[in-house]
Amino acid sequence: MKNRLEELRKARGIKQEELADAMEVSRQTIGSLENGRYNPSILLAFKLAKYFGMSIEDIFIYEEDSE
């Protein structure tokens, strides 16, 4: 799964830490998502979608058979 988090965050002009605080997760979690180290839980995906005013599908790009 790919995602547009870094792009969307930078468009908002905020730091990883600010986004992390808004989502109530650690800065490392945001960094890990931006750099593809793992996928978000569905709850975090919903929170991020709400924060950016978009759908989950607009932020996270599902690819067949992705890990």
Instruction: Say which amino acid occupies 63.
Output: E
Q: Does 43 bind DNA (CB under 7 A)?
A: yes
Query: Site for DNA (CB under 7 A): which residue of 12, 41, 46, 55?
Result: 41
Kindly state the smallest distance separating residue 13's Cβ from a second copy, in Å: 26
Kindly state the smallest distance separating residue 52's Cβ from DNA, in Å: 16
Taking the C-alpha atoms of residue 49 and residue 67, their distance in angstroms, rounded to an integer, is 21
Query: CA separation (Å) from 63 to 20, 55, 66?
Result: 25, 16, 6
Backbone Cα Rg of the chain:
11
Query: Which residues are at the interface with DNA (CB under 7 A)?
Result: 6, 15-17, 24-29, 31-35, 37-41, 43-44, 67
